[in-house]
Structure 1
Amino acid sequence: MNIEEITLGQAVPFLEAKREHHLSRLLNTYHRFDVDEADGASIKDEFQSYLWSFSSTDAPYEFLNVCSLVDYDPWFVWPYFHHFWSDFDAIPHREFEKILCTIWGDWSPTFIEDADDRAFYGALPDEVVAYRGQPRGARVGLSWTLDKNIAAGFARGHRGIWYDDPVIITARIKKKNIAGAYVNRGESELVLFNSRCATRRQIEQTPSFKERHGLLDA
């Protein structure tokens, strides 16, 4: 069936069939005992095709689902965690935190796939000052940044959702507690194994989107 021939009524089952196809091929290759470099590339391609069939807000949940199907094998989870993390939005940080803490002992910087990200991580000192922007009172997540301006932007909101009570949290983070470091979205992002690894926190108020643009009601 050509894509041009698919009607609206056929679209959903067609998409589900494609997803099932990619997931089945991924798992079948993973469970082989003689997986080589070519098989690894095949798994990556199938996983990417599978996840990219979901929205950026649904994809992290599907990532977690696939990881559960391979019993959270760290040699599977860590490389693909680094590969896909920057594609995710509205991430369920608490669920990721549970998994990252469980496989923490198997972590290695060699799992960081992108050379620029790996260099960014390698250049970090033993302890950094990092920032996180979010609405006041929200649960503190795993994602931080070295750039305070980036944190201020996330504090005000993200992807069209604006917060009325934005804050910037400043904290100290030890390099040994950083699970991932990414520069590919220009955010100098750090991802922690556990949100409690961000210590000596200080919270400051920052102007909301409406305040910055004079949109508050008189």
Structure 2
Amino acid sequence: MKEPGKAYAATILVVVVLAQSLLAQNPPLSNKPPYDPATRPKFRALVDAINTRSRELGLIEVNDDPDQAAFIRRRMDAQLIEDFEKLYSINVEKIVTQSAAASLDYKTLLDATADLKTRATRIKYNVPLLRVVDKGEKIRYDENPDHLASTLPELSRLINSFLGSPVFRLSSPNDAELRLKTSRDLNGIIKLSETINKIAKRPTKTVASR
């Protein structure tokens, strides 16, 4: 018969071993704070340039409560920075990759284009600089699944053109044409993302060969 002290020690040892095993299987959650997109200098500078140009053109409303206005602006800026960054990363990681793939992953395209449309639409309504009157012909894209593969490079081109627009870097009193082109690129991203998303939702398509 084991002595009480030894039995107790053995029990403690078993508990410790079990606890270590559980921790190994389920590591504790990291205390690291979530990534803040506002730390990306490139997109922070881009949003700052947008705000500066919008103020120069009188497109940002003056609020009677400066503290509240500053709070709202900080939140909007953080969202804009994230949206711009996501346009870039989705293009590089999903659209460009799918453009070069031997076959199209419709689930990836479905998720990517839904996110692109949401973020591009939010940018459209949150950036006064891009609220321009466009009397040109409305953009239309073919919803034929057979043409899907050829639409991906066009979507990537629109995203690159939009993010690289000089209107986000230059301050010029005569930038109406630049603003119009940038607005058209953004609308193109929204419309083409929507078109690709509609095709990807069709139940008969899961993965299509090129």
Higher helix share: 2
Q: Tell me which interval the TM-score lies in, with the shorter structure as reference length.
A: under 0.3
Between structures 1 and 2, the one with greater strand share? 1
TM-score in terms of structure 2 length: 0.27
Compute the TM-score of the two structures, normalised by the length of structure 1.
0.26
Higher RCO structure, 1 or 2 (CA under 8 Å, sep 6+): 2
